[in-house]
Amino acid sequence: MNTTIDVSPDDGVGRSSGIEWRRVAEIGSTNDALLAGEFQAGPRGPIVLRADRQLAGRGRRGRRWIADPHRALTFSIAFERPIDGSDAPLAGFSLAVGVALAEALVGLVPDLRLKWPNDLVRGQGKAGGILVETRRTGHIERVVAGIGLNLLEPLQFDREAGPAGALVPVGLFDHAVPTDPDELLHACALAVSVAFEDFVARGMGAFRERWEQFDAVAGRPVVLRDGDREIARGTALGIDAHGGLRIREAGGERVHAVGEVSLRLDAATA
């Protein structure tokens, strides 16, 4: 795969709202392409890269993400910020991205909810996912948020695949997309761009209460897994001030870090 982003005039490049917009027909991974771009002397403004088809798209833990270009919207957004050696990574930013997307979409999808740490869900189905990755030089951090949205239910998938309680893919919309996908892209990207600025300035505190409005599992029995290994079982209690998941387990409440595990509703008791 090339280490730079090649975008022809026919693919489309533009700028608005301080954001550079790019679109390609096909690419390996939009996240990989934005992560691999060369750094400049100072932080660049946000770059949105949309792909009609990704050949190597992926989700958390390296899982392959397959999206029908006629029924899905896949894109990544790259942000940069100045850092020094003492600046910690932006832990929990994927939750902020989820809040921004939910707030941008809920007017069209009233039953949209968020499943910790990075899924957009409707009912028991997964309508979208988020993958946040970072890269640093000595004084710049690049944060890339990869976003995949199922606009309509995928035509082909195996409902029997995956462990008990796993989410099956669903669409944000049941029958037809009620608006131009380009408008959805712009609304979502602008919301995430604002969320990045808020997160850098105020951390998770700017998003905790907003997350609670969309929390799909608070108060429900859940199982946490790290791959095939069960980590915890109990009742989800929401997130803490740093974005960790609080669970009331048999031995008391524990907090689990963002990105540590996957979460599924406990099929035995849900």
Active site residues: 60, 126, 264
Give every CB contact of residue 127 below 8 A, 6+ residues apart in sequence: 109, 112, 120, 121, 149, 150, 169, 170, 171, 172
Which residues are registered as beta bridge partners of 80?
142
DSSP H or E stretch at residue 21: strand 19-27
Residue with tokens 């710049």: 140
Residue 97 in contact with residue 195, Cβ under 8 Å? yes
Q: Which residues contact 111 (CB under 8 A, 6 or more apart)?
A: 122, 123
Please return the burial class of 202, using the count of CB atoms within 10 Å of its CB with bins 0-12, 13-18 and 19+.
Answer: exposed
- Closest by alpha carbon to 143, among 152, 153, 154, 132? 132
For 222, phi and psi rounded to 5 degrees? Answer: -140, 160
Length of the chain: 270
